[in-house]
Amino acid sequence: MPPAAALLPWRRLVVPLLAVVSVPFVLPLALPFLLRSSSSRQPLSAARPLYAPGTCPYVDEAYACASNGRPDAAYTRWRWAPRRCRLPRFNATDFLATLRGKRLMLVGDSMNRNQFESLLCILREAIPDKTRMFETHGYRISKGRGYFVFKFVVINLTKTDKWNPWRRSVTVIIVILQDYDCTVEFVRSHFLVREGVRYNRQKNSNPILQIDRIDKSASRWRKVDVLVFNTGHWWTHGKTARGINYYKEGDMLYPQFDSTEAYRRALKTWARWIDKNMDPAKSVVFYRGYSTAHFRGGEWDSGGSCSGETEPTLRGAVIGSYPRKMRVVEEVIGRMRFPVRLLNVTKLTNFRKDGHPSVYGKAAAGKKVSRRKQDCSHWCLPGVPDAWNELIYASLVLEPKPRSWKHH
């Protein structure tokens, strides 16, 4: 088997991690290294997630499926296992050590907030004193707030009692072994480019998207050590998909514009900003690709359903056609100067029809399930986003680090 790093050519090739390792499959968490046994399904009995359901205070109600009454638990026990390379065993303590003195920021829509909450829960498991992990502004995680900063100031102390014969007393020597002093942050940016409004003659406001201007939150992105971007979830909804009097470039508001082309131009705007403002000697930038939804019989607002799914698709049904927007992502990133690391999770998520909140995304009016609109695009936690964070960890471990990191 070739070295693991040779199988992960993120740096200049637009060959995403999950495409390099051939046909994927899923594997229970308890069996992380049996990567060649792709033809058989492994037992779930000894498997366990990276954190127990219901134990992490940072999971939004919408993703807390077990707390909302979901009766099965198998969806928490699957780990992504590519066939032809071995991912390093996830180690939350090592992840924190890698981030010592650094900032990791996720920027994007609610799918990235889903991943952000997963990462908080994973890293929390490595902290004996949970009070040493806190949101710096005192905010509670909620859908209404678009900016969070969690700080990890974890100090492990070793106390040594040393006898001092001259003073005939015991001197207590305290050695600070670890002080992570790192932050994990989330910045909401639905499109990575600027949202705005226009007013008609009646002074009524209508939303627009300025695809040639970077999002206002970009001022927060500078000088961040690890950035994880995404956009895509909102490009399939309403005005964004129809493109009528919505997309704007310069002073031109297009009466009608194709949403895929708008997506391409928006990503190019983001790419230009990254190339101009980020230094690969100081920072690592990830772009996480499209996450598969599993609506049956309609979309999120038209009766689409994924209820009753308790098992992943272990073989057979894969994506009918590769999403057009992922081809756009590969095209844009392939032409960038900055070596963005593409996390292509499209195939990975396609297998996980069992992982969505479905009817278990809400506990309302004394009931543990919501039968109205089902959520078949976001993910239960623990669950699929944990695998995305394992891939980020693998990249940071296996890929060369920025030059400036070696001095820390």
72 catalytic? Reply is no
In contact, 28 and 77? CB cutoff 8 Å: yes
Residue ranges in 81-234 assigned as alpha helix (H): 92-98, 110-124
What is d(CA 262, CA 235) in angstroms, rounded to the nearest whole number? 9
The pTM of the full predicted model, rounded to 2 decimals, is 0.82
Cα dihedral across residues 142, 75, 348, 338: positive or negative: positive
**What tens digit of pLDDT does each residue of 317-372 get?**
555 667 899 999 999 999 999 999 999 998 889 889 999 999 998 765 545 566 66
* pLDDT at position 255: 95
404 is catalytic: no
Strands 247-249, 284-288: parallel, antiparallel or unpaired by DSSP? Answer: unpaired
pLDDT at residue number 321: 67
Tens of pLDDT along the chain (408 residues) come to 333 333 232 232 233 343 333 233 333 332 222 222 223 333 222 357 999 999 999 999 999 999 999 999 999 988 887 777 778 888 999 999 999 999 999 999 999 999 999 999 999 999 888 888 888 888 887 777 777 788 877 554 444 444 444 444 443 444 433 568 899 999 999 999 999 999 888 888 899 999 999 999 999 999 999 999 999 989 987 778 889 999 999 999 999 999 999 999 999 999 999 999 999 999 999 999 999 999 887 666 666 889 999 998 876 555 566 789 999 999 999 999 999 999 999 888 988 999 999 999 876 554 556 666 799 999 999 999 999 999 999 999 999 999 999 755
Cα distance between residue 50 and residue 43, in whole Å: 17
Q: Which of 38, 109, 110, 370 is catalytic?
A: 110
For residue 81, report the phi and psi dihedrals to the nearest 5 degrees: -135, 95
Q: What is the predicted pLDDT for the residue at 364?
A: 56
Q: Is the dihedral of CA 162, 163, 167, 172 positive or negative?
A: positive
Model pLDDT for residues 286-319, shown as the tens digit of each residue: 999 999 999 887 666 666 889 999 998 876 555 5
Q: Catalytic residue at 378?
A: yes
Over the stretch 175-204, which tens digit does the pLDDT of each residue have? 433 568 899 999 999 999 999 999 888 888
Please tell me which residue in 109, 225, 375, 386 is annotated as part of the active site.
375
- How open is the CA angle 190-195-197, to the nearest 5 degrees? 140
Rounded alpha-carbon distances, angstroms, from residue 275 to 240, 254, 262, 279 = 26, 27, 20, 8
- Phi and psi at 248, nearest 5°, equal -130, 135
Q: Of 234, 225, 229, 199, whose CA–CA distance to 214 is shortest?
A: 229
